[in-house]
């Protein structure tokens, strides 16, 4: 039986990945900061699907938290076959309205943790000749919108480059780029969502199902919804200044989680 490790597993897209993979018979390593919530989730998934669900409490904004997950990914006795780097957050406010400490924490979680955990997982996967990594980015990666968008753009570029370097190894890497998803993300960041049209909201479970299909097809970038595929097609031809205005009206955070 294969094992999947999911960061940011207790809510939103991460929880949807956990539900889907458990239903498919994968054992899980669930990573988040809230130990009590992790244990409750692990028990529920074990009881419902008969899989083993391991709990790993870790704060990926700290070196100690990243190191704990790196150590688990490097465990050759209990290998991880699929890594889902989903942990992330948004900051409320424009550039210079957000503290430098919060901006740097975002880069730690969105970029450094993704780099280090992907590297830790892929080393063993390449030796075994199989495995997969899903790095959750956002459609914000394709529009000019602050540190969040820049960090997610890095995730996309990093994932595509690593996938190219690992071609033929049996290891698949994919950047997942959703739009707005109905999760706890915006509430946690203190962001209002009243100005976001209803048609722009995605269902986390459907999104994950489409993402796993794309991973199986060997895609390196997944925009798992026709509406957002069409929007991103327009982004390619729209003036950059216009895009900045649009994303300002929809809030600093233009994307998922």
Could you read off the pLDDT of 2-19 as tens digits, one per residue? Answer: 999 999 999 999 999 999
Q: Which pLDDT band, with edges at 50, 70 and 90, does 198 fall under?
A: low
pLDDT above 60 (res 250): no
Please state, in angstroms and rounded to a whole number, the distance separating the CA atoms of residues 161 and 158. 5
pLDDT of 143: 87
> What is the number of structural domains in the chain?
1
The residues facing 221 across adjacent strands are 175
Alpha carbons 58 and 69: distance in angstroms, whole number: 7
Q: Identify the active-site residue in 142, 148, 158, 185.
A: 148
Q: Is residue 36 classed exposed, middle or buried when 0-12, 13-18 and 19+ CB atoms within 10 A define those classes?
A: exposed
Q: CB–CB of 183/162 below 8 Å? A: no
Q: What is the CATH number of the domain that holds 43?
A: 3.40.50.720
User: Are 132 and 5 a contacting pair, CB within 8 Å?
Assistant: no
114 falls within a domain: yes
123: in domain: yes
229 pLDDT higher than 90? no
Measured distance CA(11)–CA(51) in Å, rounded: 19
Bigger pLDDT: 43 vs 140: 43
Query: Which tens digits make up the pLDDT trace of 61-116?
Result: 999 999 999 999 999 999 999 999 999 998 888 899 999 999 999 999 999 999 99
Q: Is residue 257 part of a domain?
A: no
Residue-averaged pLDDT of the chain = 87
Q: Which residues pair with 119 in a beta bridge?
A: none
pLDDT at 148 over 50: yes
Query: Quick check: 257 pLDDT over 50?
Result: no
pLDDT for the residue 145: 77
Mean pLDDT of 37-45: 98
Q: Is the pLDDT of residue 46 over 50?
A: yes
Question: In the prediction, which pLDDT does 35 show?
Answer: 97
The answer to whether residue 165 is domain-embedded is: yes
pLDDT at 193 over 70: no
Write down the pTM of the prediction. 0.86
The C-alpha atoms of residue 196 and residue 239 are separated, in whole angstroms, by 21
Q: Please check whether residue 254 lies inside any domain of the structure.
A: no
The reply to whether 228 belongs to the active site is no
Length of the chain in terms of residues written? 257
Q: Is the pLDDT of residue 163 over 90?
A: yes
Residue 256 lies in a domain: no
**CA distances in angstroms from 132 to 68, 108, 122, 123, listed in the order given:** 20, 22, 8, 11
Please give the residue range of the domain that contains residue 70.
Answer: 3-249
Contact between residue 207 and residue 13 where contact means Cβ atoms under 8 Å apart: yes
- Report in angstroms the alpha-carbon separations of 227 from 134, 201, 215, 223, 239: 21, 10, 20, 9, 20
d(CA 205, CA 19): 8
SS3 state of residue 238: coil
φ and ψ of 189, to 5 deg: -85, -5
């Amino acid at each position: 039986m294969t094992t999947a490790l999911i960061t940011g597993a207790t809510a939103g897209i991460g929880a949807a990945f956990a539900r889907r993979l458990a239903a498919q018979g994968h054992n899980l390593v669930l990573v988040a900061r809230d130990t009590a919530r992790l244990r409750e989730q692990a028990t529920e998934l074990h009881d419902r699907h008969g899989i083993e669900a391991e709990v790993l409490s870790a704060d990926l904004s700290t070196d100690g938290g990243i190191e704990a997950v790196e150590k688990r990914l490097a465990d050759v006795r209990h290998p991880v076959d699929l890594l889902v780097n989903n942990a992330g957050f948004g900051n409320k406010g424009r550039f210079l309205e957000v503290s430098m400490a919060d901006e740097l924490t975002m880069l730690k979680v969105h970029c450094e943790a993704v780099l280090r955990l992907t590297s830790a997982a892929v080393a063993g996967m390449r030796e075994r000749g199989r495995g997969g990594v899903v790095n959750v980015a956002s459609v914000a990666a394709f529009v000019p919108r602050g540190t969040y968008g820049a960090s997610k753009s890095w995730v996309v570029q990093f994932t595509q480059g690593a996938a190219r370097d690992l071609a033929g190894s049996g290891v698949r890497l994919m950047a997942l780029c959703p739009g707005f998803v109905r999760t706890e993300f915006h509430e946690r960041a203190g962001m209002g969502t009243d100005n976001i049209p209803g048609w722009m909201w995605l269902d986390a479970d459907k999104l994950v199902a489409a993402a796993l299909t794309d991973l199986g097809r060997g895609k390196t970038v997944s925009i798992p919804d026709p509406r957002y595929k069409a929007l991103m097609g327009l982004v390619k031809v729209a003036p950059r200044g216009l895009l900045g205005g649009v994303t300002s009206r929809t809030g600093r955070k233009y994307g998922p989680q």
